Amino acid sequence: MAKNGKKRIGVLTGGGDCPGLNAVIRGVAKASMSRYDMEVIGIEDGYEGLIERRVVKLDWLKVSGILTQGGTILGTSNRANPFRWPVGKKGDEIEFADVSDQVVEYVEELGLDSLVCIGGDGTMAIATKLSQKGVRIVGVPKTIDNDIWGTDITFGFDSALQTATEAIDKIHTTAMSHHRVMIVEVMGRYAGWLALESGIAGGGDVILIPEIPYDIEKVCDVVAQRSKKGRRFSIIVVSEGAKPEGGDIVVQRVVKDSTDPIRLGGIGNKIGQEIEERTGVETRVTVLGHLQRGGTPSAFDRILATRFGVKAAELCYSGVGGVMVAVRGGDIVTVPLADVGGKMRLVDPNHPLITVARGVGTCLGN
């Protein structure tokens, strides 16, 4: 609590950026100040700001005009983990230390009654551990991957979905013109939501997701059959975490000091080479990469992020902690943080959207 007797809360954004982060910050701050008369402290660069003691006071002016901005005004980091903080090197090996006690002390020093942690599963896992050490935390689920357990949808997903779908639409015309197989590799990590939904929306002929290992022969057969029927092009949408039957994911690189060290990527090029070799059809690959994280949030994400932010402020004022706000059936509810960390919301192979995709003749690779 601040010296003036007002409640004081902190807010941070952790992990990868995505559209809608600023909308949450704005929602938390404006509701806290106008409705509950609380002070709001912004933590810079996620948990890194708590470790390195870098914060900024948020006032009405600082959070005005940021609703439509992508990224985060507070900055973020996907390498900052108070329970595994790099402190030096021993030879070629990075040495880590647990500095979580220092973080808890700093939270107390700042006089924070609550801490709002906006992020994905890694951010929520760290938030769960800090909550167990006595920090009152409210989590807000963020990710373009839509893979956080406990919520029907995360903010950031709809904006990334629009970006991916627009890219597929543009690639469609060049595929038709040049009679090529065009592969679009999208993000999603180990969950196929982004590939599945953008593939359906963009009219993908083949959609490959992590939850359904693919048979390259069946993928090539689709390409060959379309060509025989006069459809001399094919659109293949592939999730970065897709893998062949009996095979494994393609790892682009490993970042040892990151909270999520495995960097996926390259599956599109692998599949493209195999298709060209097996069918003789010219194949091109487009990797959307971080384009999916940038830009202005969609109207849906602005509204959802604002709803999350206002709810988080209400929970902080009420003294509720150890929870994450979530969407369940259209309502904003809470789920225990301890139930979220370490779990992922994956695509069920029997999900209605899988049935829809198959219903319009889309190949899922099996």
Instruction: Please give the single-letter amino acid code of residue 80.
Output: A
Q: Which of 237, 273, 267, 270 is nearest to 251 (CA)?
A: 267
Helix-then-strand count for the chain, H and E:
11, 15
CA distances from 330 to 73, 151, 320 (A): 28, 10, 22
**DSSP state for residue 289 in the 8-state scheme:** G
Q: Answer whether 365's CB lies under 8 Å from 347's CB.
A: no
State the Cα–Cα distance between residues 215 and 194, nearest whole angstrom: 20
Residue 165 near residue 201 (C-beta atoms within 8 A): yes
Reduced to 3 states (helix: H, G, I; strand: E, B; else coil), residue 124 is helix
Q: Per the residue annotation, which of 145, 147, 158, 301 is the catalytic one?
A: 145
b (16+ CB within 10 A) / e for 46-69: bbbbbbeeebeebeeebbeebbeb
Q: 145 catalytic, yes or no?
A: yes
- Residues serving a catalytic function are 145
